[in-house]
Structure 1
Amino acid sequence: MPRRLLPAIIATLLLLSPSPAPAAGDAAREPYGIDLEGFAYPHPVQLLPLVNDGEQLRMAYMDVAPTQPNGRTVVLLHGRNFPSSYWAPVIRTLSEQGYRVVVPDQIGFGKSSKPAGDLHFDTLARNSIALLDHLQLGKVDIVAHSLGGMLGVRIARATPERIAHLLLAAPIGLEDYRLYVPPTPTETIIETEDKLTAEGYRKQLETNYALKLPPDQVTPFIDARFNIKGAADYPRWLHAFAASAQMIYREPVVHEIPLITVPTLFVMGADDHNAPGKPSAPEALRPKMGQNAELAKALAARMPNARAEVLADAGHLVFLEQPERFDQLMLQFLAK
């Protein structure tokens, strides 16, 4: 058999092979579908048909109307490890101030389709603009968290005429992870993620994100990640999740950030040192990674219209950990 065919065969076998039996802590979990069927969102979810790379897909989104509209729309972009339902407090704040709030799940995440191929920020950006066109929205504001921050950068660079304000809440991608972390085969990512337990995931979140939330607020994130393990097409979800990790690694946006011309605000947690792939970096390089507050301030200084705010006693989930201060900064920024 030709050696060049072995990686493809191994990847196929990993996707088709059954997952190992759930750990004791996972045994009683009620399975969700891999598009989070069975997991409640705070507002009705609609689906937009899309075609990406020849594949028929559906993009889920919430479209929340305010009672007293101010004529403005904010789009909320989620992170990699979180369903867009976690934006519920921010949706409420914005709605009370008259903003229409559009909250998509990107393709590959949440209640949206899980594609069979790779993920790319350019494709997600085009999908997001397609959603705005579908909703007949012209210029909008973007508030983006974590991986959503990388996507927000790409949207602002590709279509600056569609963006009035860009708020990056604890974004990742403020450094080029390829400078520290060696490439990881997709098969390895799939195998590692499939072995992760719910308790291991909770500890991972607490460590990587410097979480300052009570355990009951973290549990929905655990459920959204682990209740899908009983789904028949769980290997498809695993593939999409691994593809998102490769997208972060292979498609850095830090080199584009200084070129953003739209008004930009970074809101960073002082204790947020999240850096994807950090455990795989050489030990000597790990301390240099994830200095996110300092990275944001340095990048803002190089941009034509940007500033960075750093919130004390906050980690990666800055808008949930310091909601009053975050809301104040967000509303002041959007009102300019």
Structure 2
Amino acid sequence: MRPSLFAAAALAVLPATAALAQVTGAAFALPEAKTFRFESQQQTLSMQYVDLPAERPNGHTAVLLHGKNFCSGYWRGTARVLHERGWRVVIPEQIGFCGSDMPRRYQYSFHQLAENTRDLLEQLDLARTTVIAHSMGGMLGTRYALMYPGAVERLVLVNPIGLEDWKAKGVPYVDIDAQYARERAMDAERIEAYQKQSYYDGRWNADYARWARELARIYQGPRGDRFAWSMARTSDMVYTQPVVHEFPRLQVPTALIIGQRDRTAIGRDAAPPAVAQTLGDYPALGRAAAGAIPGATLIELDGLGHLPHIEAPERFEAALLEALDGDADAG
């Protein structure tokens, strides 16, 4: 797929949406979001992204891929650290998420999202990048690296989901209509309860709450129904399109950064108890993935969960710079 001649010219700077407007710090702010318009599946779509130029260019660009329950803004701390070390940073929001279009009719697949991302990067004249990917973004980053190995300098997977094949392990299928009903029931209270238990081991603070509130605003806003429908279909994508079996095919330098307290597992609540208790063993899954991916390195972060870059930014940033060692001026 390539953008149409009309759409390819439509890289426009737009005001940041609510999803990206909050990604500011006391001494650091991401630039305004831009929009990439392109043709996909017989429709013109808009994908929002941030393009942060390097402060002292080191010749490298990092592409940060978000997870399913977050918008791109939760990468702000990581973007700052890379920016200070000379990296250009591009942070897309995938179709179906946050500030990007949420089409009612769209065939979601990791192949399609990877192609959309590649088209964006080609339009930005970025032939090769380092891909840093968290959670669901890890499945997308893996697919991207499999499809475009020559376009990937390095792949860094941060507590990626998809280190196991849930359906093969016995997690039952939940159809899209049932997923949609669950998504429509989402509100701030449910989101906080889930994230507090699943991500932070019962702890909670203002920084954690920021990202939960951001998600709740989308569910409860004017695009809430479209967002719920997109989330239902991307849940189906995550369940039905495993990448773990293709890890041995990866041909790019790969590092895994794994918070050892993480126990995230898709469909655990619907699985039989005997199955549920076997899922999401990230210490074991990380080691297995590192063994399956040729030449992979594994960085284990004791005591941290699914979001090490939010839970313990300094520890995560040190691990990331270690993972990037070998790229010029990585730190």
Q: Compared with structure 1, are the counterparts of its residues 139 and 232 closer, same or farther at alpha carbon in structure 2 (3 Å cutoff)? A: closer
Identity fraction in percent: 34
Q: 2:285, 2:72 → 1: CA distance? A: 26
Deviation at 1:272, TM superposition (A): 0.2
Alignment of 1:296-315 (within 5 A): 296-315=286-305
Deviation at 1:233, TM superposition (A): 3.8
Contact 1:172 1:275 survives alignment (8 Å): yes
Provide runs of 4+ in structure 1 moved above 6 Å.
none
Q: Deviations over 1:155-206 (max 9, x none)?
A: 1101100001100000000000112211112111111122233122111112
* 1:236 alignment partner in structure 2: 226
Q: 1:88, 1:233 → 2: CA distance? A: 24
Match of 2:22 among 20, 36, 40: 40
Unaligned ranges ≥5, structure 2: 1-16, 25-29, 327-331
Q: Compared with structure 1, are the counterparts of its residues 122 and 203 closer, same or farther at alpha carbon in structure 2 (3 Å cutoff)? A: same
1:166 aligns with 2:155: yes
* 2:276 alignment partner in structure 1: 286
What RMSD, in angstroms, separates the aligned Cα atoms of the two structures? 1.7
* 2:52 alignment partner in structure 1: 64
Alignment of 1:157-306 (within 5 A): 157-179=146-168, 180-211=170-201, 214-306=204-296
Match of 1:155 among 112, 123, 144: 144
* 1:321 alignment partner in structure 2: 311
Contact 2:20 2:72 survives alignment (8 Å): no
* 1:135 alignment partner in structure 2: 124
Q: Compared with structure 1, are the counterparts of its residues 68 and 222 closer, same or farther at alpha carbon in structure 2 (3 Å cutoff)? A: same
Q: Deviations over 1:294-330 (max 9, x none)?
A: 1111121122210211101100001222322221222
Q: Compared with structure 1, are the counterparts of its residues 233 and 281 closer, same or farther at alpha carbon in structure 2 (3 Å cutoff)? A: same
Q: Compared with structure 1, are the counterparts of its residues 199 and 134 closer, same or farther at alpha carbon in structure 2 (3 Å cutoff)? A: same
Contact 2:131 2:154 survives alignment (8 Å): yes
Contact 2:158 2:257 survives alignment (8 Å): yes
Deviation at 1:54, TM superposition (A): 1.1
Deviation at 1:73, TM superposition (A): 0.4
Deviation at 1:37, TM superposition (A): 6.5
Deviation at 1:36, TM superposition (A): 4.3
Contact 2:135 2:161 survives alignment (8 Å): yes
Q: Deviations over 1:275-297 (max 9, x none)?
A: 11110111110111001221111
Contact 2:191 2:216 survives alignment (8 Å): no
Q: 1:178, 1:157 → 2: CA distance? A: 22
Computing the radius of gyration from Cα coordinates, the structure with the larger value is 1
* TM-score normalised per structure 2: 0.87
* TM-score normalised per structure 1: 0.86
Q: 2:34, 2:143 → 1: CA distance? A: 24
Unaligned ranges ≥5, structure 1: 1-34
Deviation at 1:228, TM superposition (A): 2.9
Q: Compared with structure 1, are the counterparts of its residues 53 and 219 closer, same or farther at alpha carbon in structure 2 (3 Å cutoff)? A: same
Q: 1:287, 1:101 → 2: CA distance? A: 39
Opposite residue 41 of structure 2, the aligned amino acid is D
Q: Compared with structure 1, are the counterparts of its residues 138 and 37 closer, same or farther at alpha carbon in structure 2 (3 Å cutoff)? A: closer
Deviation at 1:211, TM superposition (A): 4.8
Matched residue of 1:252: which SS? coil
